[in-house]
Structure formats: C-alpha cells, structure tokens
A and B are shown apart, each in its own frame.
Chain A
C-alpha cells in the first residue's frame, strides 16, 4: 500500500534539502562578502553565483508552496508561529536578491549594495536557523491554529541553531569559492573554510547535545534501545566526513571540500528527520493529521513526478553551462 502522505513528506523534505544544498552556498558567499577585497575578489564571488541564485531560491518557494498544498494545516500553524523570523528572512532575501543586479548599476552605490548583500544574506540565514530551532523546540497549537505569542520563537536554543546555520552556510560559501575561484581569493577561502569547519562541527555537537533534552520524543528516539542502532551511525558518519573534510583542505583539493561540506549538511538533515519523523510539527501534529485530501495529493503527484526530474535536468544544464573557474570580468 503506497501512502501518498509519506511520499509528499518525502517531496517536501527533498525540496528543503535541495534548497539548503543550493541556496546555502550562495547565502554563505553573502555572509562572507565583507571578508573579500573590494574589486576583482568581490566581483568573482558575485559572478560565481549570479547565474544560479534565482533557481536556487526557487526551492524555498517550492518548500513553502508545497507545504501549503500538501500539508495546509501545518503551513497554517507554522508560518504564524514563526512570524518574526520569517518576515525577517523575506526582507533579507529582498535586500540580497536585488543586490545582484543593483551593485553593477551605479559605481557610487556599489558599497551600499555590497553591504545590503551581506546584511540580507546574514539576516535570511540567521532567520532560517532560528525558525528551525523554534520549530524543534515546540510550537503551541490549539485545534488547527497557532496558539502562542509573537515572541515564542526566541530562545537560547533557537539562537544556537541560528548561529549554527550561519556558520554552516558560510562554510558552504567558502568551499564553493575554493572550487570556483583561483589565486588570493581561493587562498583566503581555504583559510576561512578551516576556521568555519571547526565552528560548524562545534555547533553540530552543541545542537545535537541540546536537542534530546527539548522534548521526550527526541531523547527516546536517539538514546533508547533499539532506536540507537538506527541513530548511532549518524554521528559516526559525521565524524568520518569531518576527518575527510579536514584532509581535503590540507591537500588543497578543489571540489572535494564543497561536497564533503554538503555531506555534513546531509547528515544533519538526516538527524533532523530522525528527530521529528513522523511529525510535521514536532510533538503536536503528525504528517497524516496535517495532510491534504488524497485528490490534492494525487493531482500534484502526477505533475511533480514528471516535472521534478525535468527541473533537475535543466538546472543541471544551467550549472554545466557556467562550469569551471569564474573570472571577475563576467562570462565570455
């Protein structure tokens, strides 16, 4: 028996993962922007993502739109609960999105839009991390609606997850530029990646240590026999990838650090999935309670099943067109 609700939970999870994989590094480049020299370094960093940032961000729209379509009740509870961080994220995305075009329009204004690019990327990332932490720590629900206040999201834990995501996206950004850049910018990114890798690992440990004590479900899931057989490989694999990652930096490999950093993200997302499955709002609403009716699920699945592979194909092509090292002078 195929459970459409489980399939849709998988598709939404895939959209979120795709978003983190793709938009993570371009937000990270924004976070690191002040560390790059004005001139060719910044221009190269910007050019390396200019052709793809819009497509990357579309996965966020699919995550949000997909949640509305497949789990409308969850969408209706989570978004008001995370009101302040989400509005901050949207405004951050506005600031950084327009900076891609605006910074080239008037040389006198470039410093302003470079700052907007940095601030917008930082705010958006911090807000996403805070939103994740706020969701994990629990949302108060009454019936089909959010029942808490507009500051409930703020806690030491949510600030920790916010900081962790900033470190994580910055790491992805530096590794992307190790791959796409050359010379002094690449050297700088090797150094940045080393420091950020250490910060991210510390943050992963801290979040992992704090999560099981938020709710009974998490503790049970991670530490009680026999669940531990399933969960133990996640931290072990994380440690393994961390070692490979540091070796790749020492050996000055170019593509490997980026993919190993993505591996760290994949494992963190897997850990997240283990923690909250099969809920969509941890401890409150399961995916089945929030699910749209079968007719909605079927109608969308018909399209998604065909279109998502097609989207991945032409997205891959767009990346392929702009493969190789990026220069400061644009694409030609």
Chain B
C-alpha cells in the first residue's frame, strides 16, 4: 500500500472514532444544561439526580473527545502537509477561532462543571454548564465551516505560490454555500444521537422497574426529542441534499447510484448492488422518475449521471451508495420510534409498553451509526479532492515514507481500540446502574473517598 492510501485510512479511522464523542457531548451538554435549568426552576430533585447521573457519563465521553480531538489538530500537518500549506491561510484562522472561542471555553469551565458544585454555588455552576454547552456548539460552528469550505470553496484568491489566499470577505468564506445546511444537519444529528442513547438507557431501566421516576423522566424527554426533532432532521437532510445537488452534483449521482444520465426523469434506486466495474447497479429495485421528483420537484426533469464525469473525478460509488441508504434508513426508523412514542403517550402507555422500550433499546446506537454513515457520505463524496474541484487528495499528502505511516496507523488502531473500547465499557458500566434518589456527582462523597464511584448500595433501585 502506498503512503497516500495509508494516510487516508489513518485519517478516516481517527476522525471517525473522534466524531462519535462530540456527537454525544454536543447533545449531552445541552441535555445537562436543560436538566440543571429545570432543577433550578422547579426544585425537583429528579432533575438533580438525572444531572449527576449523566454528568458521570459526560465526563468520560468528553475526555475521550478531547484527547482524540488533539490528534486531529496535529494530523492535518503530520499527514496532510501540502494541503495544510496550501489551504492554511484560509482554513487556519477558522480553526484558530475554534480554539480561542470554543476549546478554551469548554476546558476552562469543565473543571467547575464536573467538580465545582460545592465550591461556587448553584448560579455560577449553572453558568459553567451553560458555557460548556455553548462551547460545544461554537466548536461545531467553526469546524463545520472549515469542512464546508473544503466542500464548497468560495471567497479565495489563488496565490502565485499555489496557496489559497483569503479574499476581501471572511464572511463569504465562513458562510460558504454548504455551511448553513451542514451545520444544522450535524447539530440536529448530535441532539438525536444523544436522545436515542438517553432513551435507550431510560427504556432499559423502565423494563426493570417501570416506577423509577428518573428513568421515566429521561425516557419521556428523549422520546419528545425523537418525535419532534426526527421529522425536522429529515427535512433538514433533504434541504442539505438539494444544496449538494446544486454545488456538488457528482456526489449526488454517486449517492443515487446514477451511473447513467436520464434525460426524461431519473428513477429512485431504493436498493441494489453497485457494480463499479460495469458501471451499473445490479438487482436494482427502483421507483421510476422518483429521483427527479425528489431532487427537481418534477418527475420528467433530466438528471445527469456519472457517464458525464471523467473517471478520474468519480468518487467511490459503492461506499456512498450504501452509507447514504444506511443514514436515510435510520432517519426514518427514528421517526418511526418517535411516532410510536407519541401514540403511546396519547394512550397513556409510555412507561408500561415493554415492546416500545425494547425498540428504544434497539435504537440506542442508531444515532452514532447514522452520524458516521452521514459523514462517510459527505466526506467520501468529496473525493478525489480535498478542496473540492481544486486540490486533489493525491496532491495533498505529506512527503512521508509508507513505513512511517503504516507504523503510526498500527499504533493508532491498537491504542484507540484498547483505550476507547475501555471507555465505552465504562459508559455501559455507568448506565447499567439505575438512576436513584440522591445520585452522587463527581465532587461529593462517596465519589472520590476510596477512588471509585460506586453509588451507595442501599439506594440502588430506590423509589421516590
């Protein structure tokens, strides 16, 4: 394997692992903020218990997000130095703003959020939670602006030395054409990811004890999110797709599996097996003219296919075809569960319908899978370019020997699977315990007296 292929595998591996954590912490931070706000407003301890219960999970996930994120900030230079040199003047300042406005804010207030409840009082502590929650959003803002600029580059001038230089308007660069769509779609995805993870934990504890008030509250809150936000997400995703059709039509051709042009209405291929060698979709199950209807709002509108694109500019169709379908399929499954929960709520069976709870547990990881599938779709769809249409991936990599990249890739794989595998195991360990009255945080006894965080055994499964 060449150094280029190894570097691509390494980046895909490290960024995929990394994004699982922010996808959870963006949502969890807002969830914690809402819980603390409800606690301060209503004084109900159920919210304080839920806050402390999820804070322990948040601490573990956040730590993993931080350390895997530092890797990303250096990997641009270690493995993609030519890209960094050329695009640095444009994307570098946006990433510097991410550090200055988001990373410091999160890190500066995280200590108080995790350990400072007894030290600063409720008001300031609530402020710290808010600062961390806002920080996660600001971070998403900047890094998605960078990513979107790579997808839809505008507002630049070409330097004589081959660098992309900023034009007169930074707003044009930051708010590049795909950015608003990607930002909305990604942040909602993070909220949904969290909602389904929290919902699964709530459902698990309801199956064991349907009277547990804290399990009820978390399940109910999660299902409200599912019912209300899943349809918004499907709409946002559709808008994002139309934006992609406008600016990156080749990506849409690959997602749709349109190897051929369709001058009088393109079919929507529901399923099939991409055959890149023959440039066709085998065993395709399709709805005639439906793709034109969705993308152009006209069943007879012509749609160009990959036959109009030089082979050298074609992204890997099979990957996009599948990842896109996984994402969309999960999106509709989320909507389904959300509607089911509404139905259960109306019938007063939200907390005692075991099949609903089992379905919610099954859907627990759906957000993580959908988020990864979505990122695979948009990132693989950017290929064979790093800066879309302008700088090829093959011309972006560092001048490294293949053994150097192979060794680092092996090290990343071993360390990530071991460390983050353990982290995921600890998260399961935490959420396996039912949320109980008098839930402890990270700062109070008995949390750190003996260096471990067992909840007092006598309170386990305690009822309100």
A contacts, CB < 8 Å to B? 39, 43, 47, 50-52, 54-55, 57-58, 60-62, 64-70, 72-73, 75-80, 83-84, 86-87, 90-91, 93-95, 97-98, 100-107, 109-110, 116, 144-147, 149-150, 292-293, 295-296, 299-300, 303-304, 307-308, 311, 314-315, 317-318, 321-322, 328-332
Q: Are A80 and B66 in contact (CB under 8 A)?
A: no
What size tier do the contact residues of chain B reach?
35 or more
Across the interface, do B447 and A80 meet the contact criterion of CB distance under 8 Å?
Answer: no
Most buried by B among A78, A98, A307: A98
- Could you tell me the distance between the alpha carbons of A109 and B452 in the complex, rounded to whole angstroms? 10
B89 adjacent to A332 (CB under 8 Å)? no
Rounded to whole Å, the gap between the CB of B8 and the closest CB of chain A is 16
Q: How long is the Cα–Cα vector from A69 to B161 in the complex, in angstroms? A: 17
* Cβ-neighbour of A150 out of B99, B167, B403, B453 (below 8 A): B403
* Chain A residues in 8 Å Cβ range of B166: 293, 295-296, 299
Segment at the interface with A among B76-84, B346-354, B365-373: B76-84
B423 and A80 contacting across the interface, CB-CB below 8 Å: no
B96 and A51 contacting across the interface, CB-CB below 8 Å: no
- Is B95's CB under 8 angstroms from A68's CB? yes
Inside 8 A of B416's CB, which chain A residues have their CB?
94
Tell me, in angstroms, the Cα distance from A146 to B92 when the chains sit together. 20
Contact A330 B107 (CB under 8 A): no
B118 pairs with A76, CB closer than 8 A: no
Mask: chain B, 148-174; 1 = CB below 8 Å from A; 0 = not: 000000000001010101111010000
Q: How far is the CA of A213 from the CA of B114 in the complex (A)?
A: 49
- Taking the closest CB of chain A, its distance from the CB of B147, in whole angstroms, is 15
The answer on a CB contact under 8 Å between B120 and A321 is yes
Partner of B411, one of A78, A91, A116: A91
Q: Which of A86, A110, A144, A304 contacts B96 (CB 8 A)?
A: A304
Q: Known A80-B400, A303-B97, A330-B448; judge A293-B89 contact (CB<8 A).
A: yes
Shortest CB distance B406–A (Å) = 11
Q: Are B448 and A47 in contact (CB under 8 A)?
A: yes
> Which residues from A are CB-within-8-Å of B111?
50-52, 54-55, 318, 321-322
Docked Cα-Cα span, A107 to B451, in Å, equals: 7
Cα distance A67–B81 in the bound complex, in angstroms: 12
- A65 x B451 contact (CB < 8 A): no
User: Which B204-251 residues have C-beta < 8 A from chain A?
Assistant: none
CB-CB contacts of B387-422 with A at 8 A, as 1s and 0s?
A: 000000000001111011001100110011001001
Nearest residue, chain A, Cβ from B59 = A101
Q: Decide yes or no whether B68 CB sits under 8 A from chain A.
A: yes
Provide the bound-state CA to CA distance between A57 and B415, in Å.
20
| Shortest CB distance B146–A (Å) | 11
Measured between beta carbons, the chain A residues less than 8 angstroms from B167 are 295
Q: Which residues of B contact A318 (CB under 8 A)?
A: 108-109, 111-112
| Distance of A68 Cα from B101 Cα, bound (Å) | 17
Contacts of A321 in B (CB 8 A): 111-112, 116, 119-120
Q: 24 A-B contacts, Cβ less than 8 Å apart? A: A51-B111, A51-B112, A54-B107, A62-B100, A65-B73, A68-B84, A70-B96, A76-B82, A80-B78, A83-B78, A84-B408, A87-B408, A94-B68, A98-B63, A145-B82, A150-B403, A296-B92, A299-B93, A300-B96, A307-B104, A314-B104, A322-B115, A328-B449, A329-B445
- Map CB proximity to A onto B357-378 as digits: 1 under 8 Å, 0 otherwise: 0000000000000000000000
Question: Given A72-B92, A304-B96, are A105 and B84 neighbors across the interface (CB < 8 Å)?
Answer: no
Cβ contact within 8 Å between A98 and B64: yes
Once A51-B116, A292-B89 are accepted as A-B contacts, the answer to whether A65 and B78 lie under 8 Å apart by CB is no
Tell me if A144 and B161 are in contact (CB < 8 A): yes
Residue of A at shortest CB range from B94?
Answer: A69
Contact across chains for A300 and B97 when beta carbons are under 8 A apart: yes
B429 at interface (Cβ–Cβ under 8 A)? yes
A69-B96, A83-B78, A296-B89 known; A332-B443 Cβ under 8 A: yes
A47 — which chain B residues lie within 8 A by C-beta? 448
Contact A104 B93 (CB under 8 A): no
- The residue of chain B having its C-beta at the shortest distance from the C-beta of A330 within the complex is B448
Specify which chain B residues have a CB less than 8 angstroms from the CB of A299 in the assembled complex.
93, 166, 170
Q: Which of B63, B101, B103, B404 contacts A84 (CB 8 A)?
A: B404
Residues in B with CB closer than 8 Å to A79 are 74, 77-78, 81, 84, 398
Residue in B415, B447, B451 whose CB lies within 8 Å of A91:
B415
- Do residues B104 and A315 form an inter-chain contact, with CB atoms below 8 A? yes
For A55, give its contact among B77, B98, B108 (CB under 8 Å): B108
Give B416's nearest chain A residue, CB to CB.
Answer: A94
A87 with B411, Cβ < 8 A, contacts A101-B59, A293-B159 known? yes
- Given pairs A103-B451, A330-B442, 18 additional interface contacts (CB within 8 A): A57-B70, A80-B399, A83-B408, A87-B412, A104-B447, A104-B453, A145-B399, A150-B400, A296-B90, A303-B100, A314-B109, A315-B108, A318-B111, A318-B112, A321-B119, A322-B116, A328-B449, A330-B449
Assess whether A70 is in contact with B92, with CB atoms less than 8 Å apart: yes
Question: Chain B nearest CB: distance from A284 CB in Å?
Answer: 15
What is the bound-complex CA distance between A103 and B100, given in angstroms?
30
| Cβ-defined contact, B74 with A101, below 8 A | no
Bound-state Cα–Cα, A76 to B82, Å: 6
Q: Is the CB of A110 within 8 A of B451?
A: yes
Contacts of B93 in A (CB 8 A): 69, 292, 296, 299-300
B63 in complex: contacting residue of A52, A100, A296, A317, CB < 8 Å:
A100
Chain A CB within 8 A of B260 CB: no
Enumerate B135-149 residues with CB–CB distance to A below 8 Å. Answer: none
Beyond A300-B97, A322-B111, is A75–B77 a contact (Cβ under 8 Å)? yes
Least CB separation from B10: chain A residue = A87
| Cβ proximity bits B420-464 to A, threshold 8 Å, 1 near / 0 not | 001100100110000000000011110111111100000000000
Contact partners of A110 in chain B: CB under 8 A: 451-452
Is the Cβ of B103 less than 8 Å from the Cβ of A102? no
In the bound complex, CA of A33 to CA of B87 (Å): 42
**B67 interface hit (Cβ, 8 Å):** yes
- Given known pairs A57-B70, A296-B166, the reply for A150 and B401 (CB within 8 Å) is yes
Nearest residue, chain A, Cβ from B412: A91
Nearest-CB residue, chain A, relative to B161: A144
A90 and B71: CB pair below 8 A? yes
Known contacts A144-B161, A329-B445; is-contact A64 B77 (Cβ 8 Å): yes
A65, B85: Cβ atoms closer than 8 Å:
no
B73 touches A43 (CB 8 A): no
Q: Which 8 pairs, one residue from A and one from B, show the smallest C-beta to C-beta distance?
A: A72-B88, A51-B111, A69-B92, A79-B77, A330-B448, A76-B85, A97-B67, A55-B107
Shortest Cβ distance from residue B391 to the other chain A in the assembled complex, whole angstroms? 13
